[in-house]
Amino acid sequence: MADPQPSLRQRLALRGIDGVTLLALPAILFVLAVFIYPFAYGLLLSFEPKEGGALANYQRFFSDPFLYRTIATTLWLAIPVTVISLALAVPIALRVRLMTRQRLLTTILVLPVTLGTVLVAEGLLNYLGPQGWFSRTLMLFGVIEHPLKLTNNYWGVFASLIITGFPFTFLLTLSYVTGIDPALEHAAATHGAGAWQRFRHVFLPLLAPGLAISACLSFVQAFAVFPSAILLGAPAGPTRVISIAAYQAAFEQYDYSMASAIAMIMAAVQMVIVVAILAFRNLFYRGSTAGGKG
Amino acid sequence: MIRDTTIGAKLWITAVWAVVIFFVLNLAAMIVAVILSSFGTRWLGTWLPAGFTDRWYFAAWSEFQLHDVLIVTFQIAFIVVALSGLLGVTAAYALARRDFPGKKLVMLLFLLPLLVPPITFGIPLATVLYQAGVGGTFWGVVIANLVPTVPFVILVMIPFIEQIDPKIEAAARVFGANTFKLFIHVLLPMLVPGILAALLLVLVRTVGMFELTFLTAGPTSQTLVVALYYSVFASGVRAVQSIDAMAVIYMITTLVWLLIALRFVNPTQIVARAKQAPAQQ
């Protein structure tokens, strides 16, 4: 056909699709195959239970207290950890921002994030244990009479989540705090704003988007707590978190359909909280964190 | 700089630093306790072990077959690094240089595996891998570990590639370089610092990645962190000191790469992934 229009190749190139764009294809196909496909497969599988109707897995989950209580157990760990991490991270990041040599502190704090939960669990079993240095120091100062019970219960898992979660939240918050133009604070100070007023009316509105993201990410991380809940907690009772339920369904009962259903419920709970945090964030200011005109 | 000189402000600053010092002290004490325990002969009810020895390292080395575990760990880590570099850098180049319909969707696609925690997508992924017959094998572990690392490399590399002036590439094209030659002779040398940083972080993440490896590994494809988990899990069976010796070996294998990586990146970038440089230009 003698078409006066440019060839398909040229038309595609005009829209930004050419040989170079195709370089993204292998990675896209890979992520589709190993991330999106398993998720979709898991979702469908969760509606094909070993026995019963399509919703049998979900009905079983929400009628068995041993299963549905895992949601509350996990939230009871993840929400306090997120709130405390964030409440500590913001004032500390605001101070650290003023340091000229932050590198040493940030390097120390990135250690627990890199070492991971398994190592922290092993370290804390020793350190927080009845013979560990923590109880020993408190007894030396006469704060307590007998060693505290901090392992194989809620507090062990809580401590391990703070040790890995706080540095993560802090480093994330620090990257947002350092993105705010210091001139804005100076302007507020020139106009006579006190420290609290500067925080409340200058930093907080500008930080809101960053804090919302930090809160979401630290919540999601804490909600997915797994090895430390087993190693440092009481996985049969007080720290039977949702990931343990999913793992047991998959690798102890070989009920992949139920395991997928629990994984989907886990993802749904995470999504609900993330959406709630982002909706709450929308009540605040939106705009540039840079100074100057605009 | 603004100076707050009121008593309240000074108390507040002191309190903030006290919290930081408390945290760092506890963290340091936890790590030191593991190291001391691994060198201790007997440590019961005292501040320090009764004596020091290095025999737990030999014990751990043979008990946990650390030789094999370390070889598997590094084979998996280096294959993951190579493949995620290959897939990630090429895709990052395409995404940095071209604007095409649906690009936002593609970026979301690469963001999701980093935002969704590994245990959430790991269970359906392990199910699929076991059904495909690669679950429990070496390559199953490699595939599972690539899921977060390929997007990670892409998101780290995009800003690096965007910094390079497209005119340089145009010049290379004028002189007759094809895309492959352009990559090897022009782009790669300029991208070395960025690629090195991204790949070192991938290495650190893969060595430390517990959940995905745990869910997909079989007996012969365990990495060090999974072997450590199993030994802590069955901690009644072995001496605490030999588990601690293994923990120290794990710490060394992770921290060496972390320290090298930190020569190229800022610690905040390790968590703040794609975000780079302050907002103002």
A269 to chain B: closest CA residue: B120
Residues B194, B74 within the same domain: yes
* CATH code for position B224: 1.10.3720.10
pLDDT at B275 over 50: no
Interchain pair B30, A125: CB under 8 A: no
* Best A57, A99, A119 residue to mutate vs chain B (most B CBs within 10 Å): A119
Residues B49, B150 within the same domain: no
Q: Is A286 on the interface with B (CB under 8 A)?
A: no
* CATH code for position A75: 1.10.3720.10
pLDDT band at B4 (very low <50, low <70, confident <90, very high): low
Residues B19, B96 within the same domain: no
**Chains A and B: how many Cβ contacts under 8 Å?**
270
A27 to chain B: closest CA residue: B87
Cβ neighbours of B228 in A, within 8 Å: 118-119, 122
Residues B113, B238 within the same domain: yes
Residues B106, B178 within the same domain: yes
Residues B29, B87 within the same domain: no
- Identify whether A19 is part of a domain: no
- Degrees (nearest 5) of the Cα angle A144, A228, A103? 85
SS3 B40: strand
- In order along its 294 residues, chain A shows pLDDT tens digits of 555 677 888 887 777 777 788 889 999 999 999 999 999 999 999 999 988 888 999 999 999 989 999 999 999 999 999 999 999 999 999 988 888 888 888 889 889 988 888 999 999 998 998 888 998 899 888 888 888 888 889 999 999 999 999 999 999 999 888 888 888 888 888 888 888 888 888 888 888 888 998 999 999 999 999 999 999 988 888 889 999 999 999 989 999 999 999 999 999 999 999 999 988 887 766 666 665 544
Cβ neighbours of A131 in B, within 8 Å: 43-45
- Identify whether A131 is part of a domain: yes
B5 to chain A: closest CA residue: A195
Q: Is B45 on the interface with A (CB under 8 A)?
A: yes
- Identify whether A142 is part of a domain: yes
Residues B1, B64 within the same domain: no
Interchain pair A16, B99: CB under 8 A: yes
Tell me the residue range of the domain where A232 lies: 67-281
Cβ neighbours of B121 in A, within 8 Å: 35, 38-39, 263
Residue B45 CA to chain centroid, in angstroms?
36
Q: Say if residues A45 and A256 touch (Cβ distance below 8 Å).
A: yes
Q: Which of A179, A127, A157, A173 is nearest to A244 (CA)?
A: A157
Overall number of domains in chain B: 2
Cβ neighbours of B262 in A, within 8 Å: 107, 110
Overall number of domains in chain A: 1
Residues B253, B171 within the same domain: yes
Point out the residue among B16, B29, B144 whose CB comes nearest to the CB of A127.
B29
Cβ neighbours of A15 in B, within 8 Å: 100-101
Chain segment B47-95, per-residue pLDDT in tens: 888 888 888 899 889 888 899 999 999 999 999 999 999 999 999 999 9
Q: Is A220 on the interface with B (CB under 8 A)?
A: yes
What is the model's pLDDT at position B101? Answer: 86
A 10 A CB-CB count for A139 gives 14
- Identify whether A104 is part of a domain: yes
B99 to chain A: closest CA residue: A16
Residues B88, B183 within the same domain: yes
- Identify whether A2 is part of a domain: no
Tell me the residue range of the domain where B10 lies: 1-53
For the four alpha carbons of B146, B148, B151 and B156, in that order, the dihedral sign comes to negative
- Identify whether A5 is part of a domain: no
Q: Say if residues B122 and B215 touch (Cβ distance below 8 Å).
A: yes
Total-model pTM = 0.88
- Identify whether A119 is part of a domain: yes
Chain segment B184-220, per-residue pLDDT in tens: 888 888 888 889 988 998 999 999 999 999 999 988 8
Residue B204 is which amino acid? V
Q: Is B211 on the interface with A (CB under 8 A)?
A: yes
Q: Which of A273, A180, A165 is nearest to A225 (CA)?
A: A165
Cβ neighbours of B177 in A, within 8 Å: none
Residues B200, B84 within the same domain: yes
Question: What is chain A's length?
Answer: 294
- Identify whether A171 is part of a domain: yes
Q: Is B21 on the interface with A (CB under 8 A)?
A: no
Residue B247 is which amino acid? A
Residues B237, B149 within the same domain: yes
Q: Which of residues 111-130 of A touch B (CB under 8 A)?
A: 111-127
Residues B33, B152 within the same domain: no
Query: DSSP string covering A68-87, please?
Result: HHHHHHHHHHHHHHHHHHHH
> How many angstroms separate the CA atoms of A288 and A270, rounded?
28
